[in-house]
Structure 1
Amino acid sequence: MPMRVALVTGANHGIGAATAQALAADGAAVVCAYWPVDNPADPGVPETYRVNRAETADAVVAAIRDCGGEAVAVAEDLTDPQAPPRLFDRAEAAFGPVDILINNASGWVQDTFSPRGADSFGRTLQPVSAATWRQQFAVDAMAPALLIAEFAGRHAARDATWGRIVGLTSGGDLGFPEEVSYGAAKAAQTNYTMSAAVELAPLGITANVVHPPVTDTGWVTDAVRDFVSHSAAHVHVATPAEVAEVIAYLASDASGLITGNVITLR
Structure 2
Amino acid sequence: MIDPRLTGHVAVVTGANQGIGAAIAVALATQGVSVLATYLRMDPAARTDDPSFPAQYGRLRAQSADSVVDRIVAAGGKAVAVEADLADPAVPARLFDEAAASFGPVDILVNNASGWFADTFRPDSRDRFGRPLTAVDAHTVDRQFAVDARAPALMIAEFARRHVARKATWGRIIGLTSGGPHGFPQEVSYGAAKAAQENYTLSAAAELGPYGVTANTVHPPVTDTGWVTPEVAEAFAGSSPPRRVARPEDVAEVVVLLAAHQSRYVTGQVVRMT
TM-score tier (shorter): over 0.9
Q: Could you report, residue by residue, the CA deviation over 1:9-55 in whole angstroms, capped at 9, with x for unpaired residues?
A: 00001000000000000100000011111142211221222221111
Percent of residue pairs identical: 59
User: Runs of 4 or more off by more than 3 Å in structure 1?
Assistant: none
Alignment equivalent of 1:159, drawn from 162, 167, 174? 167
Distance 1:166 1:233 in 2: 28
Q: Secondary structure at the match of 1:78?
A: coil
Unaligned runs of 5+ in 1: none
Partners in 2 of 1:233 and 1:101 — Cα distance? 34
Distance 1:122 1:74 in 2: 34
From 107, 117, 129, the equivalent of 1:99 is 107
Aligned to 1:45: 53
Q: For residues 184 and 234 of structure 1, do their structure 2 counterparts lie closer, same or farther at Cα, with a shift above 3 Å needed?
A: farther
1:262 pairs with 2:262: no
Measure how far apart 1:129 and its partner are: 1.9
Q: Could you tell me whether the CA contact under 8 Å between 1:44 and 1:124 is conserved in 2?
A: no
Deviations 1:151-188 (A, max 9, x none): 00100111100000000110144311000100000000
Q: Which residue of 1 aligns with 2:82?
A: 74
Q: Which amino acid aligns with 2:118?
A: Q
Shift in alpha-carbon separation, 1:155–1:119, aligned structure 2, 3 A: same
Query: Which amino acid in 2 is paired with 1:23?
Result: L
d(CA) in 2 for partners of 1:70, 1:152? 24
Give the aligned residue type for 1:263.
V
Match of residue 31, structure 1, among 31, 36, 39:
36
Which residue of 1 is the match for residue 125 of structure 2? Answer: 117
TM-score, length of structure 2 as denominator length: 0.94
**Matches of 1:191 and 1:95 in 2, distance apart?**
30
Give the SS at the match of 1:224: helix
CA contact (8 A) 2:47 2:53 kept: no
CA RMSD, 1 decimal: 1.2
Query: TM-score normalised to the size of structure 1?
Result: 0.97
Task: Give distance in 2, aligned partners of 1:191 and 1:97.
Answer: 25
Map 1:206-245 → 2, pairs under 5 A:
206-232=214-240, 235-245=243-253
Count of paired positions? 266
Change (3 A) 1:173 1:134: closer
Say whether 1:13 aligns with 2:21: no
Cα distance in 1 for partners of 2:135, 2:243 equals: 30
